[in-house]
Chains A and B, each alone.
Chain A
Amino acid sequence: QVTLKESGPGILQPSQTLSLTCTFSGFSLSTYGMGVGWIRQPSGKGLEWLANIWWDDDKYYNPSLKNRLTISKDTSNNQAFLKITNVDTADTATYYCARTIAAISFAYWGQGTLVTVSS
């Protein structure tokens, strides 16, 4: 059974660094073709793809966030991570991680973690 669960700080202040963790089970990020992506959704709005990391440590980012993103993984502990530097109120959103394998993008999603940026 595939499960993913996001965790984060809940609330942080502008200019801080947001660190998110995706803890998953039921698959391995060392399996050929496997990937994990991060997607966010401001309250009442649509979905925005942020980044993907693949089994071979290939990484892709959404350039709209202007080099503020860093995605990484810990294969041994079945975790993926996302850091967003220099956050501001526009980064307030629910952040999801989701699994991709081969051509089946985001087949499984976590429940999401709400992040609020406020002074």
Chain B
Amino acid sequence: DVVMTQTPVSLSVSLGGQTSISCRSSQSLVHSDGNTYLYWYLQKPGQSPQLLIYKVSNRFSGVPDRFSGSGSGTDFTLKISRVEPEDLGVYYCYQGTHYPYTFGAGTKLELK
């Protein structure tokens, strides 16, 4: 199985600040079709996860441009700028390239 390693486990950030989360996979996430199926989700307290980024760097509908994804191969990053209170929660990366699909363990974003 592909292991998704997220760092850090938790983050403290000031409102209006900027931060980033790293996600590394144990093998390349480039699919045989040429796409890289790496996603980012945010789970706010008491809620279901919500999709932020699909295929490494594409913001899902309605996601603010404060969120940006980048990376390739095995190394990926989610950047959050101008942090707002509604950004707090647990962020998960997820790979949909290799079965079985796997999630990272999560990164908890808290207010400083």
Query: Interface residues, chain A, CB within 8 Å of chain B?
Result: 37, 39, 46-49, 52, 60-64, 96, 103-107, 109-112
Q: Is the interface of A mostly helix, strand, loop or mixed?
A: strand
Chain B residues in 8 Å Cβ range of A107:
51, 54, 60
- The answer to whether the Cβ of B94 comes within 8 Å of any Cβ in the partner chain is yes
Instruction: Please determine whether B54 and A110 come into contact, CB atoms closer than 8 angstroms.
Output: no
Instruction: Please determine whether B103 and A105 come into contact, CB atoms closer than 8 angstroms.
Output: no
Nearest to A108 among chain B residues (CB) is B51
Question: In angstroms, how far is the closest chain B Cβ from the Cβ of A34?
Answer: 15
Instruction: Please determine whether B100 and A62 come into contact, CB atoms closer than 8 angstroms.
Output: yes
A110 vs B50: C-alpha distance in the bound complex, in angstroms? Answer: 10
> Total A-B residue pairs with C-beta atoms closer than 8 Å?
60
Binds A, one of B15-23, B34-42, B66-74, B77-85: B34-42
A47 vs B50: C-alpha distance in the bound complex, in angstroms? Answer: 12
A64 vs B49: C-alpha distance in the bound complex, in angstroms? Answer: 22
B68-108 Cβ-contact flags toward A at 8 Å (1 or 0): 00000000000000000000000010101001111111100
Interface residues contributed by chain B, number (CB under 8 Å) = 24
Instruction: Please determine whether A48 and B39 come into contact, CB atoms closer than 8 angstroms.
Output: no
Instruction: Please determine whether B100 and A103 come into contact, CB atoms closer than 8 angstroms.
Output: no
Known: A46-B103, A48-B103, A49-B100. A106 touches B49 (CB 8 A): yes
A49: contacting residue among B48, B55, B60, B101, CB under 8 A: B101
- What are some 16 contacts across the A-B interface (CB < 8 A)? A37-B101, A46-B106, A47-B103, A49-B94, A49-B101, A49-B103, A60-B99, A62-B101, A96-B49, A103-B54, A104-B54, A105-B51, A106-B41, A106-B49, A107-B60, A110-B48
Instruction: Please determine whether B92 and A47 come into contact, CB atoms closer than 8 angstroms.
Output: yes
